[in-house]
Every structure is written in C-alpha cells, then in structure tokens.
Amino acid sequence: MQTKVIPIRYIWAASYCGMTLIKGEKNILIDTAFRESVSPFLEKELEKENLSLKDIDLIFNTHSHQDHVEGNILIAEASGAKVFIHPAGVNAPHVKELKENVISFCDGEKIASCRIFFTPGHSEDSVCILEEDTSTLIIGDSIEGRGSGFAGVALIHDPASYLESIRKIREICKRKQLKRIIFSHKTDGFGNEVAGEEEIAGFLDASEETCLQYIAFIKDLLQKEKECTIEKAGSLLREKYSVTETQISPGTANGVARAFMKYCREN
C-alpha cells in the first residue's frame, strides 16, 4: 500500500490548527487540534479517505499545547488508538487523562513508517516526525520561520535549544533528502508547507536568522536599559519584528521576551 501524507487544517483564529493523516499500513493521526474540531470536521475529512475515527491506529502529538492535543481523548475513545508524546508531555492537561493509553517517544525511535526526533525550543516537549516513505517532516511548532499572524512573532521559549533543533533538522535534511516540511500553523512568507531543497533551506535559514535577530535585539535593549521590564521588551519586540499589524494574541510576545532576556543575561 502506497503511503499518503495528508494535511488536515482546522480553521482557527487568524490561521488554522494542523493535523496530519498518514495513511498506510498504519493509519496515524499527528496532532488532534481541539475537541470541537473532531466532530464533524475531522470525521468529514477522514471520510474523504474512506476512513472513520475508529480506523485511526496511532495518535502522535508534536507537543502538549492545547491546540495540538485537546482532541486526543475523543479520538482515542472512538478508536482505541495509543497516544504517543515526548516524555515531558505525558502529564500535561488533555494528555494525562488518557492514563495507560499514553506512551512516551524516544529520540530517534521508529514507529511504523515514522521516525521521531526531539526538537525543543518552542516547548520542552516538541518533536518532529519524519514519515520515511515519502521523506516528509511534520514539525508541529518546532520551528516557525519569522512567525505567524496569530502571535506576530516566532514563539521561541528556549533560544539555545531552538538553534540546536534547527541544526538537527538541517542534518536530517542532508541524511534523508527531505522533500517536504509541513507546519501546524500558517507561517509568514512560507504558507502551510515548504517543498524541495531550495524552499526547505530558505525556511530553515529564516528560522535561524529570526532567532539570532531576537538575540541581538534583546542584548542591545538590555545594554541600553538594564532593568527593562518583560512587558516593555515584548512590546518592543512586536514593534520591531511582528509579521502582521494585528495579532490575535499579542501577549504571547511577552513569553518570548522573557526567554530571550534570560538567555542574554546568561550568555
């Protein structure tokens, strides 16, 4: 049976929450968005592939943020599917309630046609999932280019880990000859996904450049104003680097500013 990788995009806020169906010897659903995205939206999307919720064999979560895991329980109850997630995400809300149905990934582990890579930086428990038959990498929110319209900025919460994860993905590209990278949310300048060597390289370059720009900006800010508040730094970061004039969740930049201020003070 030929493996198919099918993005499923549940419209949300200024963007969408991405789920990805891998249809093959095992039917794998990567991320589950919200509870309300399961019925009827996801059910109808599965019908296009002559599948139903009960046909899902495995659920993989790219990380434990609500917009990626909230639908877990409904799909697991309908299908009996096991849920796989990074060890750091096992006790997160909407995951821990599944109890014995939750299994931890190992870095580099292969499950069915997928290989798992730990790629922290956006969150401690972020992973990328490589579908090896099609050379497709599903990255969740692991790296984010220059950011999205939802937050305005790239949601980086550990700059050092983020840069290391970009390096790791570059190595995967070299070894596995990646053909396609699928995002969980629409990404500024790159849309829903990138394909081909040139586009993939451009996306990785933009992700790295953005992180380095944030570091340089915050370092300069702290040199000028040593006791700058997180709120002011977040506002200035949005003012300088936001990819859109209007953000649905502008406060998320404060979390980014906090992470970069901590990094710059320690390095």
Domains along the chain?
4-211 (3.60.15.10)
Q: How far is CA 85 from CA 36, 131, 140, in A?
A: 21, 16, 12
Q: Which residues of 249-267 are buried (b: 16+ CB within 10 A; e: fewer)?
A: ebebbbbbbebbbebbeee
pTM here?
0.96
At 15, the pLDDT band (50, 70, 90 cuts) reads confident
102 three-class SS: strand
According to DSSP, the residues that pair with 118 across neighbouring strands are: 127
Q: What is the pLDDT of residues 173-231, one digit of tens each?
A: 999 889 999 999 999 999 999 999 999 999 999 999 999 999 999 999 999 999 999 99
At 249, the pLDDT band (50, 70, 90 cuts) reads confident
* Structure tokens, 104: 């931890």
Q: What is the pLDDT of residues 73-103, one digit of tens each?
A: 999 999 999 999 999 999 999 999 998 899 9
